[in-house]
Amino acid sequence: MPAPQMESMILPPRLPLVVITGNRNRSFDKDARLVNCFLETDEAGELWVYKRPGLSVLYGNPAAAGQGSYNWKGDVYHIANGTLHKNNVAIGAGLDQTGGTYWFSAILGAIPKMVFGNGVKTYAYNGTTISADLHTIDVDFPAVTVKGIVYLNGATYVMDPYGKIWGSVINSVDQPGDWSAINFIDAQIEPDPGVALAKQLVYVVAFNSWSTEIFFDAGNPTGSPLGPVQGQKISYGCATAESVQQIDDRLLWISATRSGAVQVSLLDQLNHQVVSTKPIDRLLQGSDLTSVMSLQLKVNGHNFYILTLRDRNLTLAYDMAENLWHQWTDAAGNYFPFISYTYSATRQHILQHESNGDLYVASPEVYTDAGSRIISDIYTPVFDANTRRIKQLNIMEFIGDQDEGSILQVRRSEDDYKTWSNFRQVRLDMKRPLLINCGSFRKAAYHFRHNSATAMRMQAVEVQYDLGAL
């Protein structure tokens, strides 16, 4: 007699919360996206949605424009309103403020120095005093430079807007105040202006408007020690120096081509690739790129490249670990207002605010921004269960961590993100967090909002529905 057949069980479908930014045009207020979240793959290969790191004040200052921060010899330096601070103590005022954010470097030698410049003025600090502008000290230092200061094998390099890379006298006791009128090399494969100078591994990277050239220390006895790396011309330039970030030994920036296209590029081991997606490129095309900010943040194994388009009131965060893009905001829903990153002697991750100059510690164990709740939003793609017949949605069960006091707000749109239902609330700290009697629909996009001062980690939403006849 044959064995009885077991009836197969039909499992309820899940709405995945692994949402990829999917704007269909240059608007960022519709379509699928994650706001103030990031994704992480666990050891079982499952993806979870986390709330972004929160912020707590480290150093508060009188309201002043943030202009850059840096860790030098274990101390935290930052510039606000034209004044250099060391561990929040003012050590020098009167720095140029017309060039915006300062970029930093350091040199070795008998007297190590921190070098910093904003493209208009460049200074050196020896631990006691701040020098005058380097062009004032030595007229062979270019009067105008682009952003970026590179130290390589005993010399400091800067670039002017004409694509000339100038070097200081190698291992001079007056480094970096000793320059030579013949110590330069041109980035001249293309006739495009210089935009920024950076370093990768043992190479100097010259970003021009629509091309990028790579140089190495060729040990030339006269002129510049640098020589071009043959075959390393990249046909992607830099749209704005303020987008350039060095994250470990990788460079990211908003690149531009001679055709006018813009995208986000990554240079890793001198290998170039575009890391922005088509939806992200559409958002970039909607900006004039004249008021860009960028910074980096590495927490819990995630390297974030954080790019802000002020004119669009938009911040995009690229998670290099997961190769995914998300949107981050401040507590009021505006762009993420931070202009630079550094770290402390105890490896705290420190961000500088653009307008008040304050320094904040970013931590995934903090669930507010200096006491203001972080609003984390998950907007799903449109769900129709592969049919436009009417569905009666009976239960939505939420799969995630059950932290005490954690509440999720839920609503939906049935007209392609134009209008939304009223929010309903579900307590995530219940044994079975769920909503019942969720109405009928043909197709719907869902919006899940977490506005509690708690952690948030979610994986999916399980739905149970009945299928109608029409």
Q: Please tell me the least confidently modeled range out of 94-98, 130-134, 176-180.
A: 176-180
pLDDT band at 470 (very low <50, low <70, confident <90, very high): low
**Residue 258 has what pLDDT?**
94
Kindly tell me if the per-residue pLDDT of 4 is higher than 90. no
pLDDT at 391: 84
Q: Give the DSSP H/E element, type plus range, for residue 212.
A: strand 212-217
The residue among 133, 217, 144, 232 whose CA lies nearest residue 183 is 217
pLDDT of 417-459, one tens digit each? 999 999 999 999 999 999 999 888 899 999 999 999 999 999 9
pLDDT > 90 fraction of the chain, expressed in percent and rounded? 81
Q: Mean per-residue pLDDT for 463-467?
A: 86
The chain-wide mean pLDDT, for the chain, equals 93
Least confident of 54-63, 300-309, 374-383: 54-63
Alpha-carbon distance of 2 to 19, in angstroms, equals 47
Tell me 33's DSSP state: E
Average pLDDT for residues 145-156, to the nearest whole number?
95
Per-residue confidence band for 469, with pLDDT thresholds at 50, 70 and 90? low
* Token duo for residue 373: 């709740």
The pLDDT of residue 36 is above 60: yes
Q: Which domains does the chain have, with CATH numbers?
A: 54-287+341-360 (2.40.128.630), 380-467 (no CATH)
Q: Which of 312, 288, 306 is nearest to 352 (CA)?
A: 306
Least confident of 10-19, 225-234, 242-251, 407-416: 10-19
Q: Is the pLDDT of residue 9 over 60?
A: no
- Residue 61 banded pLDDT, cuts 50, 70, 90: confident
Based on C-alpha coordinates, what's the Rg of the chain? 26
For 157-170, write each residue's pLDDT tens digit.
999 999 999 999 98
CA dihedral 274, 271, 303, 372 (to 10 degrees): -40
pLDDT of residue 18: 78
Q: What integer is the mean pLDDT of 34-45?
A: 92
pLDDT tens, 198-240?
999 999 999 999 999 999 999 999 999 999 999 889 999 999 9
pLDDT at 3: 56
Instruction: Give the pLDDT confidence score for residue 62 in this predicted structure.
Output: 66
Q: What is the mean pLDDT of residues 399-409?
A: 95
The pLDDT value recorded for residue 28 is 86
CA pair distance 13, 456, nearest whole angstrom: 22
Each residue of 276-285: pLDDT tens digit?
Answer: 999 999 999 9
Res 82: pLDDT: 95
Residue 56 binned pLDDT confidence (cut-offs 50, 70, 90): very high
CB 223: neighbour CB atoms within 10 A?
12
Count other C-beta atoms under 10 Å from residue 186's C-beta: 15
Kindly state the average pLDDT of the residues 376-403.
91
Q: How confident is the model at residue 466 (pLDDT cuts 50, 70, 90)?
A: confident
Give the separation between CA 103 and CA 131, rounded to whole angstroms: 16
Region 369-397: mean pLDDT is 91
